[in-house]
Amino acid sequence: MIIDAHTHIHLDPGVNGQEIKDLLAAMDDAGIDKAAVFAAPINGLTTERVLAETEPYRDRLFVVGSVSPLMYAFRRTPDTVEEWLASGRVRALKFYTGYEHFYPADERLRPYLELLVKHGRPAIFHMGDLYDKIRGARLKYSHPLHVDDLAADMPDLKIIIAHVGYPWVIDAAEVCYKNKNVYADCSGFVYGAFDLRSQERFRKVWREFDEITESSGKMLFGSDWPISDMRGYVELIAQLAGSQREPVFSGNAENLFGL
**Helix-, strand-, coil-residue percentages of the chain, each rounded to 5:** 50, 15, 35
Summarised one tens digit per residue, pLDDT across range 208-239 is 999 999 877 899 999 999 999 999 999 999 99
Residue 254 pLDDT class (50, 70, 90 cuts): very high
Sequence spans of domains, the chain: 3-257
Mean pLDDT taken over the chain: 94
Query: What's the pLDDT score for residue 118?
Result: 98
The per-residue DSSP string of 13-77 comes to: TTSTT-SHHHHHHHHHHHT--EEEEE-BGGGTB-HHHHHHHHGGGTTTEEEEEE--SS-GGG---
Query: What's the pLDDT score for residue 13?
Result: 54
The yes-or-no verdict on residue 94 having pLDDT over 70 is yes
Summarised one tens digit per residue, pLDDT across range 35-85 is 999 999 888 899 999 999 999 999 999 999 999 999 888 999 999 999 999
What is d(CA 18, CA 21) in angstroms, rounded to the nearest whole number? 8
Q: What is the mean pLDDT of residues 2-29?
A: 84
Protein fold of 3-257: TIM Barrel (3.20.20)
Q: Please give the model's pTM, rounded to 2 decimal places.
A: 0.96
